[in-house]
Amino acid sequence: MVVDRIKINIFLLLIMLFPLIDVFNGVFISYGYNIPLGTVYRVGFIAYIFYGVLSKGIKRSGDYVLLLVTLFSLSIICIVQTFFFKTGLSLLVEELSYIIRFFLCLLIPFFGKQFEEYLSTKKLVWLTIMLDVLLIAGLIIPYLLGLGNSTYDDTAGFKGFYFATNDIAYAFLIMLFFIGWFLIQREKRVIPAGVLITLYFLNMYCLLILGTKSGLLAGVLYSIYLLFYFLFYYRSRTLYGQFFIFEFLLGMLFFLLMKGKELLLESLSSVIARFAYFRTLYQDDLPRLLLSSRNVYLQDAAANFLQLPKNQYVFWFGAGFENRWNWYGRKGGLIEMDFFDMFFSYGIIGTLVLLAVMGYFLNLAVQRGVNKFCVFLLLFTIIYSFLVGHVFFSALSATVFGFMCLFIQEIKKEQT
């Protein structure tokens, strides 16, 4: 139907807009304007998803059941916390905002499932390219203009108007993985290899500008894997096709060394400054340096939990993000490791819900033949969220994760 095609196109357009929304939201915050652009966008996006699905008629499937269980169980937990800790309505609304962000991870692929006949991997490839271009522009343009904010202090890293550093690093990494995967697709490649390699270099450069340990490490390891893949496993119909990517890589490397030395050295110096900054801050404590104090926050959170009266109830239902932050602040109020934050905020019930969500998509990735790339994306997300956090409860990265699950869903649909 024409109406359904329009609905899915509006849905994809709304996904494409989120990098612009986050940049402008960051601009307003940086210059002291209290305009909740990001909140308005995501509330509108979720409202549109409900409208689109309900007006079409819901297809009942596994993701539909998971969606209902997630929404019902986490919402009930928030209400139980409100009565148990005797907090007000305003705190309940704040707590539900975390649930909505997590819920977005499921709503995006759920909408895609309802309109799957109008989706294709080709359409999602083009959407990925547009998302990547906007994400890159949102960081590089402010960087070149000298606008925006540093990642950690005046010398260590640059995040432009993206306020959540690990969130945007996760977004760039997922885009990097998709671009690398697009390069590997020989006959199925939709975008010219030259465009993809250019975007790949720009993503790596953005990770260099951000200067996060996890982002740089993951980006470098993936790049090494791709180089080995193209050297030993990639096969093309023609000799030129076989070596085109190497020629382009060597050309880009030569250009960077000859024309971009100063730019590259400046970016590397900021990364070195960032490591020096944290080495001094953490007084050569290696575990604390590698985990950015998350191990300390985890110890504090565990101690807080053990000292809490009636903590057997907190074990089941958690204490809530807002309560934890109000009570403890940086002393265990936020660990920045999603699985632990889920446990201390929403208890063992919330943790089981999170495991069910990841289990559902992992099962999807291995059904009717394992798709290694889909499994890799999900395993990377699990590791990143476990060690670095800021995936499931951040608006930006939750949107990226939801889009990633939508793409995995489409890949598996066309594979069967």
* Most confident stretch, 1-5, 188-192, 263-267: 1-5
Predicted confidence at residue 258, as pLDDT, reads: 62
Query: Is residue 177 over pLDDT 90?
Result: yes
- Distance (Å, rounded) from C-alpha 187 to C-alpha 363? 28
3-state secondary structure of 327: helix
Query: Is residue 150 over pLDDT 90?
Result: no
Query: Hey, what's the torsion of the CAs at 139, 140, 145, 146, to 10 degrees?
Result: 60
State the pTM of this model.
0.92
Is there a contact between 179 and 203 (Cβ–Cβ < 8 Å)?
Answer: yes
Is there a contact between 364 and 409 (Cβ–Cβ < 8 Å)?
Answer: yes
Q: To the nearest 5 percent, what fractions of the chain are helix, strand and coil?
A: 80, 0, 20
Lowest-confidence pick of 155-169, 238-252, 288-302: 238-252
Other beta carbons less than 10 A from residue 61's beta carbon:
12
Is there a contact between 401 and 394 (Cβ–Cβ < 8 Å)?
Answer: no
348-387: per-residue pLDDT in tens?
Answer: 999 999 999 999 999 999 988 889 999 999 999 999 999 9
Please give the residue that has the higher pLDDT: either 28 or 129. 129
Lowest-confidence pick of 17-31, 200-214, 276-290, 323-337: 276-290
57-89: per-residue pLDDT in tens?
Answer: 887 777 788 888 999 999 999 999 999 998 888
**Taking the CA of residue 262 as centre, how many other CA atoms within 13 Å lie in the half-sphere pointing to its CB?**
1
217-266: per-residue pLDDT in tens?
Answer: 899 889 888 888 877 776 655 555 556 666 666 665 666 566 556 656 66
Token pair 């409900």: residue = 50
Predicted confidence at residue 352, as pLDDT, reads: 96
